[in-house]
Amino acid sequence: MAPTEEAVRAALATVNDPEINRPLTDLGMVKSVEIGTDGSVAVGIYLTIAGCPMRETLTSRVTEAVQGVEGVTGVTVELDVMSDEQRKELAAGLRGGKAEREVPFAQPGNLTRVYAVASGKGGVGKSSVTVNLAAALAADGLKVGVVDADIYGHSVPRMLGADGRPTQVENMIMPPSANGVKVISIGMFTPGNAPVVWRGPMLHRALQQFLADVYWGDLDVLLLDLPPGTGDIAISVAQLIPGAEILVVTTPQQAAAEVAERAGSIAVQTHQKIAGVIENMAGLPCPHCDEMVDVFGSGGGQRVAEGLSKTTGTTVPVLGSIPIDVRLREGGDEGKPVVLSDPDSPAGAALRGIADKLSGRQRGLSGMSLGLTPRNKF
């Protein structure tokens, strides 16, 4: 018995575009469905652009879905390209009628929790922390995005394993994903390892474009990997997303703690909330015994938390301490976050514990979210 067009279109409704993550039928990407008397099916699919990097993935997904329809004997997928008018309609639909250049995370009623990951000094592992928290939250079922806001020292794509390129539909940018995390970085737009030589106004515009022109969808959590210190980007984040909470990353030694406290104190002037302090490189587990070697001293995270609590007049907690772990560094170099590649390692377990606190989860209890709940479950 030959399959019906209704059944084939129902199957296509289960196929999400790999970049936009919404059904092809909702996006107007199904051009045609033709069914032969022998049960063969030819499906026409519109690509957003001619050089769509996900064309093979899309073809594979459509083929697999349609092959599962009863009576189908073969599937042929023919790809076409949207017209300018169709792309404009798609972009307008994705924006939901909202104006261009509008930062969705700053709008009333937005449910995305935004964390700006900051540090006083470079080299404290801020990007490693950002990437692993993002991967851990995504692994728990949350919809997560990362903005690599460290324009001069961008490193998030490599550390997250994101080797895809953004796709532009009209004035909207579709971010690539890796390990379940959507990510955007200036490194995706520069050739090779070329440096970015920009001044303040250009940095602000780049950040605004990452927030307003990128199609993020309905995120549960957005993490911004900030450059060290309290410069242009930190100020721009406060202006563009006033509700963003600050995560302060430090190492234990006194010199780093003092500068980290200074960086976190920007919250007083920008009227932002400090979500907590994360102490990285907290100690080196001795490979020959159970002793912890305090390579960089100890207590820096607690000192920063106490100092910021006094400065802000609020309680700033230490969310966790992450030990020195070779696997954390290896994961960053290989694009395999340690929370996924070795979740039970000392660093992996510590980072997952911090992610649990940010999402409101408590492992080992009911397994249900006590705070953030993945939107795709409702």
Q: Where are the domains of the chain?
A: 5-82, 104-377
| Cα separation, 297 vs 33, whole angstroms | 66
| Cα separation, 182 vs 143, whole angstroms | 8
Specify the CATH superfamily of domain 5-82.
Answer: Fe-S cluster assembly (FSCA) (3.30.300.130)
DSSP string for 259-320 = HHHHHHTHHHHHT--EEEEEE-S--EE-TTSSPEE-TT-S-HHHHHHHHHHHHHTS---EEE
Contact indicator for 9, 30 with CB cutoff of 8 Å: yes
| Cα separation, 236 vs 132, whole angstroms | 24
Classify residue 329 by its DSSP letter: H
Which residues have CB under 8 Å from 16's CB, separation 6+? Answer: 22, 23, 24, 61
Please give the CATH number for the structural domain made up of 104-377: 3.40.50.300
* pLDDT on residue 369: 38
* pLDDT on residue 373: 55
Bridge partners of 44, per DSSP, are 32, 78
233 — phi, psi (to 5°)?
Answer: -65, -45
| Cα separation, 244 vs 118, whole angstroms | 12
Q: Which residues of the chain have pLDDT under 50?
A: 362-370, 376-378
> Which residues of the chain form beta strands (DSSP E)?
30-35, 40-47, 74-81, 113-119, 144-148, 167-169, 172-174, 177-178, 181-185, 221-225, 245-250, 274-279, 284-285, 292-293, 318-321
Q: Are strands 284-285 and 292-293 parallel, antiparallel or unpaired?
A: antiparallel
* pLDDT on residue 98: 63
Q: Give the closest residue to 110 by CA, choosing from 248, 274, 271, 244.
A: 244
Per residue in 34-92, pLDDT tens? 999 899 999 999 998 877 778 899 999 999 999 999 999 999 999 999 888 888 888 88
The pTM score is: 0.77
Per DSSP, the chain holds a count of helices (H) and strands (E) of: 13, 15
* pLDDT on residue 315: 92
| Cα separation, 25 vs 167, whole angstroms | 20
* pLDDT on residue 280: 94
Other Cβ atoms closer than 10 A to 190: 12
* pLDDT on residue 378: 28
The Cα-based distances of 317 to 131, 269, 321, 358 in angstroms read 21, 20, 12, 12
What the block records as the tokens of 55 is 């064309």
| Cα separation, 12 vs 90, whole angstroms | 18
Bridge partners of 321, per DSSP, are 279
Q: Which residues are annotated as a binding site for ATP?
A: 120-127
> Which residues of 82-174 form beta strands (DSSP E)?
113-119, 144-148, 167-169, 172-174
* pLDDT on residue 50: 77
Q: Which residues are annotated as a binding site?
A: 120-127
